[in-house]
Structure 1
């Protein structure tokens, strides 16, 4: 894990994101104290403060999972019999077990942050998988965060805005605000603005005043004090497409002029800005895009 710190330093980053476990598995090995101490000492040696490190939750986590799942029948192709699968398919239904496992995962992940000396933890809010109302889903997400807060002190949960794709929660700033309204300890909740997600949700960051308008809207609805980080991604899809498809900086529909606005927006000062762009064989590594972003600063 400490090697991530060295890599961030090597490519010229001043902030970085990381996974604290496999992002596609419910199970993970515990983090031993020696590895945690090595991570902290490497951060200190490389000059990275905890407020500029933003771990990301595994993709399986869904704090908005419905209380009850529905096992939908499938007609077997070779007969007229009806088959009920022994488990709910994730894109059709979700069961209470997913919520409990997600909540337990969040507690474990906040514990890892605490062990590593980190203070921020980024999550996708969750999805109602088409089975419950937005209001009920938001309440479940907040309940999961409140429970995790009660188990692990000090670490702030950072909600990522989404692209309005499918049944996901968080594509509208009003949804993020409603989650925050249900959080007991509001000093430990925040938001990370993803540029690709915002663009896909309908905020035209490619427009001349698009970034300013988005931040003004965010400030009015959510509150600028809750802004804790930014994910820097161009978009493969057009504005309002609702697709979560990241593109390299300047090669998508947001474009370089959009990111010039981002890099010169004063309300982004002092918070981590994390690249999540795809691998590009034309780039040596992330240092290419980091240098490009710095060049846009005036």
Structure 2
């Protein structure tokens, strides 16, 4: 795949339990970090907690030997504004650059730009803009966004997309002096989520005023739960061809590597450890060895009962073949 020109070129250089990502009691010591020889040039890693500051997140990623990592830009379940500590941000940027780690962000889960509530949509717009500004300070190339949730009803999807695009246009205009992109995530389709069909994501890109500010993040569990086959070699190939047709491979900015506790096509979003869900290990091995995604960061959002060691263990399952 031709690499998107806006992605940093780090590659050639030297039901996801959210509570586990923020739980201060989890093991923060990585006892068996990944070695450079294991990852080679692959941009692999995991979501890391920002507890203690952004620089602490960078140190966690370094301690695990990650070459890619995802972070939140604030508490993902509160409307409060992000906290800005310039020294912490400076330390984060220095650590990620010195260690050649591809960091990107994930927007708060409260953001819902197609809510029926004007109060929620306004709060969501404000949060989106605030987090983009923080992402720029952190020199992140993009931030992943859940497209939003609407009341169930097929007739309302087009209207919801129109509302969503209106607010996305406002966010882009309010941050027009930044280079940070918004990466729309493929969703499972649970409880009225937009973006579980690839056609919906394509429609969003077609309707926004500045499509160059948008890209996509694939989530393996969500694709599987939404009814996109990944488990067999034939199904994987057909799904990738569908993604190329609807989204365009050069727009794929990141991939979430998540197994699923839920059955195929269930629309129930439940992440599992690699190889311990209904997907199994092979789809992930296909992904990390797929030349079409060379240089694309791939991160885990899997449970962390044993903290950072769980991430290294999951990645080793993918790499051991």
Paired residue secondary structure (2:267): coil
Identify which of 174, 181, 194 aligns with 1:156. Answer: 181
How many residue pairs get aligned? The number is 265
Is 1:37 matched up with 2:90? yes
Q: Which runs of 4+ in 1 moved over 6 A?
A: none
Distance in 2 (alpha carbons) for counterparts of 1:38 and 1:275:
24
**Out of 252, 257, 260, which is 2:277 matched to?**
252
TM-score of the two chains, using structure 2 as the length reference: 0.79
Aligned to 1:3: 56
Match of 1:129 in 2: 151
**In the aligned structure 2, how far is the partner of 1:104 from the partner of 1:281?**
35
The structure showing larger relative contact order (alpha-carbon pairs under 8 Å, at least 6 residues apart) is: 2
Measured after TM superposition, the shift of residue 221 of structure 1 is 1.4
Q: Write the mapping of 1:139-218 to structure 2, written as runs, cut at 5 A.
A: 139-152=162-175, 153-218=178-243
Larger radius of gyration between Structure 1 and Structure 2? 1
Query: What is the alpha-carbon distance in structure 2 between the residues aligned to residue 201 and residue 124 of structure 1?
Result: 14
Give the Cα separation in 2 of the matches to 1:253 and 1:138.
31
Unaligned runs of 5+ in 1: 67-94
Asked whether the 8 Å contact 1:13–1:290 carries over to 2, the reply is: no
Distance in 2 (alpha carbons) for counterparts of 1:35 and 1:281: 27
Find the partner of 1:64 among 104, 114, 126. Answer: 114
2:81 matched residue in structure 1 = 28
1:24-103 maps to which residues of 2 (within 5 A)? 24-48=77-101, 52-66=102-116, 95-103=117-125
Provide the rounded CA distance (Å) in 1 between the counterparts of 2:276 and 2:203.
34
Deviation at 1:258, TM superposition (A): 2.0
Stretches of structure 2 that go unaligned for 5 or more consecutive residues are 1-53
Partners of 1:145 and 1:157 within 8 A in 2? no
CA distance in 1, matches of 2:218, 2:73: 21
1:6–1:46: 8 Å Cα contact kept in structure 2? Answer: no
Separation in structure 1 between the aligned mates of residue 251 and residue 162 of structure 2, nearest angstrom: 19
- State the TM-score, normalizing by the size of structure 1: 0.85
Cα RMSD between the aligned structures?
1.7
Give secondary structure in 2 for the equivalent of 1:196: helix
Q: What is the CA–CA distance in structure 2 between the aligned matches of 1:266 and 1:173, rounded to whole Å?
A: 22
**CA shift at 1:110, angstroms?**
0.3
